[in-house]
Amino acid sequence: LEKGELDLLDSSPPCQGFSVSGIRNLKDERNDLYLQTKRFIKVLHPKVFIIENVDGIIKGKYKGLFNYYLSELMKLDYKIKWKSMNSLYYGVPQKRQRVFIMGVRNDLGKEPIFPKHDSELVYMDEVINDVDFHSRGQFDKKLKKVTNNFSYTITKTPSMFFVSNGKKRKPRIDELKVLSTFPNSFKLEGSYLQKWGMIGNGVPPKLTERLGETVIKNIFN
């Protein structure tokens, strides 16, 4: 690709240093991989870029670091906006709060724009069967009904469990996939734990799709 030819650069720097479910180490070396994304933007000069991460990056002691990353991105030739988005408002039956930064190259003459909330939401019991309750496990053992409820955030750590007909069990991979809106045909390689980890680290495809559709329609026409 020549500089400026790339339509969209999508980046998800490692979240381990920012996540509220982890140690939250300001000195974690992986935190500064945000600046490697800046390097790619500077070299490739894409029309649009999107950077995704956990919402822990805008909480507490990380606010200053987040503002620093924004200030670095603003040195580039882009209009920039950010938004904290929960996947449950975009066709995903799972609570998953994530922060997205979008940049649109100045010569396009367009503003960054994010998809609107859905008026109708999708609940757990609409996509999985034979499950009565679920718990996130890692932080508490509280049971929550699946009827008219959303899944807890699926994390990389395999802690969530279901209760079916009074018996506690681990979710199947196909159940985790559908709760994250991965199509059943999408193949994951590796062990049960490795597949769980990939789903836990992933951005729900339905949310990604909505972002992509919004960019195509409103920025690329």
- Report pTM: 0.88
- Please give the torsion angle defined by the CA atoms of residues 178, 179, 180 and 186, in that order, rounded to the nearest 10 degrees: -10
Distance between start and end Cα atoms, the chain:
22
Question: Would you state the pLDDT for residue 30?
Answer: 66
Residue 123's alpha-carbon distances to 58, 94, 112, 179, 209, in angstroms, are 28, 8, 30, 9, 19
Residue 104's H or E segment, with its range, is: strand 97-105
Q: Verify whether residue 154 is a known catalytic residue.
A: no
SS3 103: strand
Question: Would you state the pLDDT for residue 47?
Answer: 98
Q: What is the DSSP code string of 120-133?
A: S---GGGT--S--E
- Written as one letter, the residue type at 147 is T
- Written as one letter, the residue type at 57 is I
Select which of 7, 12, 15, 82 is catalytic.
15
pLDDT by 10s per residue, the chain, length 221 = 899 999 999 998 775 555 545 555 666 676 677 788 999 999 999 999 999 988 877 877 778 888 888 999 999 999 999 999 999 999 999 999 999 999 999 999 999 999 999 989 999 999 999 999 999 887 677 899 999 999 999 988 898 999 999 999 999 999 999 999 999 899 999 999 999 999 998 999 999 999 999 999 999 98
Sheet containing strand 97-105, strands side by side: 8-11, 48-54, 97-105, 78-86
